Amino acid sequence: YTFTHAITRKPGASVVNGLRAVDTGTPDLDLFLGHYADYVAALKSTGATVIELDPLEEFPDSVFVEDAALCLPEAAIVMRPGTPSRLGEAAVMAPVLKEVYGDVTIIEGDGFIDGGDILTTEREILVGTSARTDSKGVAALRDIVSQWGYTLREVATPEGVLHFKTDCSLLDENTILATRRLATSGALDGYDIIHTADGEEACANAIRFNELVLMPDGFPKTEAKLLEAGYNVRKIGNTEAGKLDGGMSCLSLRF
Ligand code: CIR
């Protein structure tokens, strides 16, 4: 959770057509841009360099850059996003990562894996299978990261939840913010868990970024728990990304 860089992509006008599990209204582009600017400013305020990419109108969900890649110290790994309208985002991200990262490895084969299903902790890489990530995709990632000595554990994303990290976030080397439905699955056994407050499950997707914990605005009970635990919380408006099932982690690649 210590990073010198982040990659983000500004939402384009086509973001209003982004995927959503349940339609709760069309995102307002100007409001989305305002929240995005606050998010980038928060990352930068920690001293990190933020590489902002231009909007990609042909990919409405491309603001959610996290799903296209995984950045590890050894290399950047380009994913195979598991929904047809997003698969092409990975191909666009590959040359960007080659430029800023150098070492880039591409997930091959016919499996699928979204970055949103991957939680990298200090001791392992947890990957939740989901509607977007299958066991073949997980195996392909395992083949790549095992050469660098990582332990990769395949777990399950709760039923009906878009991504594994929709329901959890790493707060420090041993602490994870998680919904009860994920924590009770056993996937996070061995970690200290801070549960999202009842009714506030939608804020489980936060990020620890250097000294800050970025969390979506509007979840006061969980915010109080994080403050109580000593975290330096920064609230960011997320109503518009939230309409597209996106949150704090989805909006950046961090390294
Ligand atoms: C999608 O359905 O793919 C986008 N509307 C939301 C992606 C959110 N990304 C993430 O959780 N990592």
What is the Å distance from ligand 1's center to 185 Cα?
22
5-254 CATH choice from 3.75.10.10, 3.30.830.10, 3.40.50.720, 1.10.3720.10:
3.75.10.10
Q: Is the pTM of this model over 0.90?
A: yes
**Per-residue pLDDT for the chain (255 aa), expressed as one digit of tens each?**
999 999 999 999 999 999 999 999 999 999 999 999 999 999 999 999 999 999 999 999 999 999 999 999 999 999 999 999 999 999 999 999 999 999 999 999 999 999 999 999 999 999 999 999 999 999 999 999 999 999 999 999 999 999 999 999 999 999 999 999 999 999 999 999 999 999 999 999 999 999 999 999 999 999 999 999 999 999 999 999 999 999 999 999 999
In short, whether 64's Cβ falls inside 6 Å of ligand 1 is: yes
CA distances from 77 to 64, 110, 142, 144 (A): 16, 16, 11, 9
The 10s digit of each residue's pLDDT in 109-121 is 999 999 999 999 9
Q: In ligand 1, which atom is closest to the CA atom of 67? A: 12
Per-domain residue ranges for the chain?
Answer: 5-254
Q: Give backbone dihedrals phi and psi of 63, rounded to 5 degrees, phi first.
A: -60, -25
How far apart (Å, rounded) are the C-alpha atoms in residues 249 and 202? 13
The ipTM estimated for the assembled molecules is 0.98
Provide the 3-class DSSP secondary structure of residue 145.
helix
In short, whether 245's Cβ falls inside 6 Å of ligand 1 is: yes
Catalytic residues: 163, 250
What is the Å distance from ligand 1's center to 58 Cα?
16
Q: In ligand 1, which atom is closest to the CA atom of 205? A: 11
